[in-house]
Chains A and B, each alone.
Chain A
Amino acid sequence: MSKNTRTILICSGKGGVGKTTLTANLGIALANSGATTAVLDADFGLRNLDLLLGLENRIIYTAQDVLDKNCRLDQALVRHKKEPNLALLPAGDPRMLDWMKPEDMKKISDMLSEKFDFVLVDCPAGVEDGFKNALAACKEAIVVTNPELSAVRDADRVIGILNTSDIEPIQLVINRVRPNMMASQEMLSIDDVQGILSLPLLGIVLEDEQVIISTNRGEPLTLTDGRSPAKKCYLNVSQRLTGTDVPIIDPKNEGKSLKDKFMRLMQTKVF
Chain B
Amino acid sequence: MTLRDLINKLLGRETASANTARERLQLVLAHDRVDMSSLTTDLLDKMRKEILDVVAKYVEIDFEEVAVSLETEDRMTALVANLPIKRTVSGEIKFKNNNEKNDKDIKK
**Is A252 in contact with chain B by the CB < 8 A criterion?**
no
* B3 touching A266, Cβ below 8 Å: yes
Q: With A268-B2, A270-B2 given, is the CB distance from A156 to B16 under 8 Å? A: no
**Is A138 in contact with chain B by the CB < 8 A criterion?**
no
Q: With A185-B2, A185-B4, A270-B3 given, is the CB distance from A152 to B25 under 8 Å? A: yes
Q: With A265-B3, A270-B6 given, is the CB distance from A184 to B29 under 8 Å? A: no
CA distance A185 to B20 in the complex (A): 10
Query: CB-CB < 8 A to B36: which residues of A?
Result: 157, 160
In-complex Cβ contact of A198 among B18, B25, B74 (8 A):
B74
**Is B17 in contact with chain A by the CB < 8 A criterion?**
yes
CA distance A266 to B8 in the complex (A): 11
Assign chain B's interface to a size class. 20 to 34
* B4 touching A269, Cβ below 8 Å: no
Separation in Å of the A177 CB from the closest CB of chain B? 13
Query: CB-CB < 8 A to A189: which residues of B?
Result: 18
CA distance A189 to B24 in the complex (A): 14
In-complex Cβ contact of A157 among B4, B17, B22, B32 (8 A):
B32
* B29 touching A153, Cβ below 8 Å: yes
Interface set, chain A 237-271, CB cutoff 8 A to B: 265-271
Q: With A149-B21, A153-B29 given, is the CB distance from A184 to B3 under 8 Å? A: no
In-complex Cβ contact of B4 among A149, A152, A184, A188 (8 A):
A184
Interface set, chain A 96-124, CB cutoff 8 A to B: none
Separation in Å of the B48 CB from the closest CB of chain A? 24
**Is A128 in contact with chain B by the CB < 8 A criterion?**
no
Q: Could you tell me which B residues sit within 8 Å of A by CB distance?
A: 1-4, 6-7, 16-19, 21-22, 24-26, 28-29, 32-33, 36, 74-75
